[in-house]
Protein backbone atom coordinates (compact mmCIF):
# COMPACT_ATOMS: atom_id res chain seq x y z
CA UNK A 1 0.00 0.00 0.00
CA UNK A 2 1.18 3.48 -0.81
CA UNK A 3 0.06 6.52 1.08
CA UNK A 4 0.32 9.90 -0.58
CA UNK A 5 0.14 13.20 1.29
CA UNK A 6 -2.40 15.62 -0.08
CA UNK A 7 -1.54 19.18 -1.06
CA UNK A 8 -1.80 21.72 1.79
CA UNK A 9 -5.01 23.20 0.34
CA UNK A 10 -6.73 19.88 1.08
CA UNK A 11 -5.35 19.48 4.60
CA UNK A 12 -8.71 18.42 6.05
CA UNK A 13 -8.13 15.11 4.24
CA UNK A 14 -5.20 13.78 6.20
CA UNK A 15 -4.27 10.92 3.90
CA UNK A 16 -5.29 9.14 0.75
CA UNK A 17 -4.56 5.45 0.71
CA UNK A 18 -3.96 3.89 -2.71
CA UNK A 19 -4.32 0.12 -2.85
CA UNK A 20 -5.14 -2.67 -5.27
CA UNK A 21 -8.76 -2.90 -6.35
CA UNK A 22 -10.37 -6.04 -4.90
CA UNK A 23 -13.42 -8.02 -5.92
CA UNK A 24 -15.13 -6.86 -2.71
CA UNK A 25 -14.88 -3.25 -4.00
CA UNK A 26 -17.36 -3.70 -6.86
CA UNK A 27 -20.33 -2.08 -5.07
CA UNK A 28 -18.31 1.08 -4.36
CA UNK A 29 -16.79 0.96 -7.86
CA UNK A 30 -20.29 0.79 -9.40
CA UNK A 31 -21.42 3.73 -7.27
CA UNK A 32 -18.51 5.88 -8.49
CA UNK A 33 -18.98 4.93 -12.14
CA UNK A 34 -22.67 5.92 -11.97
CA UNK A 35 -22.11 9.44 -10.63
CA UNK A 36 -23.11 12.28 -13.00
CA UNK A 37 -19.66 13.89 -13.14
CA UNK A 38 -17.90 10.58 -13.70
CA UNK A 39 -20.34 9.60 -16.46
CA UNK A 40 -19.87 12.98 -18.16
CA UNK A 41 -16.08 13.12 -17.75
CA UNK A 42 -15.10 9.60 -18.78
CA UNK A 43 -15.63 7.55 -21.89
CA UNK A 44 -17.16 4.83 -19.74
CA UNK A 45 -20.77 3.72 -19.80
CA UNK A 46 -22.40 4.52 -16.47
CA UNK A 47 -25.11 2.74 -14.53
CA UNK A 48 -23.40 -0.62 -14.52
CA UNK A 49 -24.16 -3.05 -11.75
CA UNK A 50 -21.44 -4.42 -9.48
CA UNK A 51 -21.82 -7.76 -11.31
CA UNK A 52 -21.29 -6.11 -14.71
CA UNK A 53 -18.24 -4.24 -13.45
CA UNK A 54 -16.83 -7.44 -11.93
CA UNK A 55 -17.21 -9.22 -15.29
CA UNK A 56 -15.63 -6.25 -17.12
CA UNK A 57 -12.82 -6.14 -14.57
CA UNK A 58 -12.08 -9.85 -15.01
CA UNK A 59 -12.30 -9.87 -18.81
CA UNK A 60 -10.84 -6.60 -19.99
CA UNK A 61 -8.32 -5.76 -17.34
CA UNK A 62 -6.94 -9.19 -16.56
CA UNK A 63 -3.18 -8.81 -16.56
CA UNK A 64 -3.47 -5.09 -15.98
CA UNK A 65 -3.16 -3.06 -12.80
CA UNK A 66 -6.17 -1.59 -11.00
CA UNK A 67 -5.99 0.60 -7.93
CA UNK A 68 -8.48 2.52 -5.85
CA UNK A 69 -8.17 5.53 -3.57
CA UNK A 70 -9.56 5.33 -0.04
CA UNK A 71 -10.29 8.21 2.31
CA UNK A 72 -11.74 7.42 5.74
CA UNK A 73 -12.50 3.83 4.65
CA UNK A 74 -14.50 5.04 1.61
CA UNK A 75 -13.53 4.39 -1.99
CA UNK A 76 -13.25 7.77 -3.71
CA UNK A 77 -11.56 6.88 -6.97
CA UNK A 78 -10.35 4.18 -9.34
CA UNK A 79 -7.59 4.00 -11.92
CA UNK A 80 -6.36 1.20 -14.11
CA UNK A 81 -3.76 0.30 -16.68
CA UNK A 82 -4.73 -2.07 -19.45
CA UNK A 83 -1.40 -3.56 -20.48
CA UNK A 84 -1.02 -4.41 -24.15
CA UNK A 85 0.54 -7.59 -25.54
CA UNK A 86 2.94 -8.64 -28.30
CA UNK A 87 4.81 -5.82 -30.03
CA UNK A 88 3.06 -3.31 -27.75
CA UNK A 89 4.00 -5.02 -24.47
CA UNK A 90 5.81 -1.83 -23.44
CA UNK A 91 2.47 0.08 -23.56
CA UNK A 92 -0.63 0.44 -21.46
CA UNK A 93 -3.88 2.39 -21.70
CA UNK A 94 -4.94 4.46 -18.67
CA UNK A 95 -8.42 4.94 -17.26
CA UNK A 96 -9.17 7.11 -14.22
CA UNK A 97 -12.31 8.14 -12.33
CA UNK A 98 -12.70 10.25 -9.18
CA UNK A 99 -15.86 10.44 -7.07
CA UNK A 100 -17.74 13.68 -7.83
CA UNK A 101 -17.52 14.90 -4.22
CA UNK A 102 -13.73 14.42 -4.05
CA UNK A 103 -12.56 16.16 -7.24
CA UNK A 104 -9.80 18.72 -6.91
CA UNK A 105 -8.56 17.23 -3.65
CA UNK A 106 -5.53 15.22 -4.76
CA UNK A 107 -7.30 11.90 -5.39
CA UNK A 108 -6.53 11.79 -9.12
CA UNK A 109 -2.90 12.74 -8.49
CA UNK A 110 -2.51 10.00 -5.86
CA UNK A 111 -4.02 7.38 -8.19
CA UNK A 112 -1.91 8.51 -11.13
CA UNK A 113 1.28 8.54 -9.06
CA UNK A 114 0.58 5.02 -7.81
CA UNK A 115 0.06 3.68 -11.33
CA UNK A 116 3.08 5.48 -12.77
CA UNK A 117 5.30 4.18 -9.96
CA UNK A 118 4.09 0.66 -10.73
CA UNK A 119 4.44 1.11 -14.50
CA UNK A 120 8.00 2.42 -14.25
CA UNK A 121 9.41 0.27 -11.46
CA UNK A 122 7.58 -3.04 -11.71
CA UNK A 123 6.05 -3.44 -15.15
CA UNK A 124 8.81 -1.88 -17.25
CA UNK A 125 6.25 0.08 -19.27
CA UNK A 126 7.65 2.79 -21.51
CA UNK A 127 4.39 4.25 -22.82
CA UNK A 128 1.08 5.02 -21.17
CA UNK A 129 -1.66 6.48 -23.34
CA UNK A 130 -5.13 7.81 -22.65
CA UNK A 131 -8.12 9.48 -24.26
CA UNK A 132 -9.75 12.49 -22.58
CA UNK A 133 -12.61 14.77 -23.60
CA UNK A 134 -11.06 17.95 -25.01
CA UNK A 135 -13.11 20.18 -22.66
CA UNK A 136 -12.05 18.32 -19.49
CA UNK A 137 -9.46 20.94 -18.56
CA UNK A 138 -8.85 19.74 -14.97
CA UNK A 139 -8.02 16.22 -16.18
CA UNK A 140 -5.83 17.52 -19.00
CA UNK A 141 -3.90 19.70 -16.53
CA UNK A 142 -3.41 16.71 -14.21
CA UNK A 143 -2.13 14.52 -17.03
CA UNK A 144 0.27 17.25 -18.19
CA UNK A 145 1.60 17.55 -14.63
CA UNK A 146 2.58 13.87 -14.84
CA UNK A 147 4.36 14.20 -18.17
CA UNK A 148 1.58 13.34 -20.62
CA UNK A 149 1.60 15.27 -23.88
CA UNK A 150 -1.03 15.69 -26.55
CA UNK A 151 -0.47 13.49 -29.58
CA UNK A 152 -3.59 14.34 -31.51
CA UNK A 153 -7.33 14.79 -31.40
CA UNK A 154 -10.42 13.15 -32.79
CA UNK A 155 -13.53 15.13 -33.68
CA UNK A 156 -16.88 13.58 -32.80
CA UNK A 157 -15.14 10.66 -31.07
CA UNK A 158 -17.80 9.77 -28.50
CA UNK A 159 -21.45 10.43 -27.81
CA UNK A 160 -21.88 12.45 -24.59
CA UNK A 161 -25.21 13.88 -23.48
CA UNK A 162 -26.60 13.08 -26.93
CA UNK A 163 -23.93 15.13 -28.74
CA UNK A 164 -20.75 13.97 -30.45
CA UNK A 165 -17.77 15.20 -28.43
CA UNK A 166 -14.12 15.71 -29.32
CA UNK A 167 -11.25 14.03 -27.49
CA UNK A 168 -7.52 14.46 -27.11
CA UNK A 169 -5.12 11.55 -27.30
CA UNK A 170 -2.31 11.95 -24.78
CA UNK A 171 0.66 9.79 -23.85
CA UNK A 172 3.60 9.65 -21.49
CA UNK A 173 6.68 8.15 -23.07
CA UNK A 174 9.72 7.15 -21.04
CA UNK A 175 12.90 6.68 -23.01
CA UNK A 176 14.04 3.08 -23.00
CA UNK A 177 17.47 2.59 -21.47
CA UNK A 178 20.13 2.53 -24.15
CA UNK A 179 22.23 -0.57 -24.52
CA UNK A 180 25.84 0.04 -23.72
CA UNK A 181 28.53 -1.43 -25.90
CA UNK A 182 31.82 -2.53 -24.49
**pLDDT of 4 above 80:** no
**Which band of pLDDT confidence, cut at 50, 70 and 90, is reported for residue 74?**
very high
**pLDDT of 12 above 60:** no
CA distance linking residue 120 with residue 56, whole number of Å? 25
Q: Regarding the domain with residue range 2-128, which homologous superfamily does it belong to in the CATH classification?
A: Gcn5-related N-acetyltransferase (GNAT) (3.40.630.30)
Q: What is the largest CA-CA distance in the chain?
A: 61
Contact 46, 52 (CB under 8 A): no
Q: How many CA atoms lie within 13 A of 40 on its CB side?
A: 8
Closest-CA residue to 38 (of 94, 78, 92): 78
**pLDDT of 57 above 90:** no
Amino acid sequence: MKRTRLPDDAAHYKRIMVRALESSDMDAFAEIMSLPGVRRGTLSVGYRSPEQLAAWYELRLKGGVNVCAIIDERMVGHAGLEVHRSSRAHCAHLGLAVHDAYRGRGVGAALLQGLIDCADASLGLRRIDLTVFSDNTPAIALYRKFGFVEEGSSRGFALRDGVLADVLHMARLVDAPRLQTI
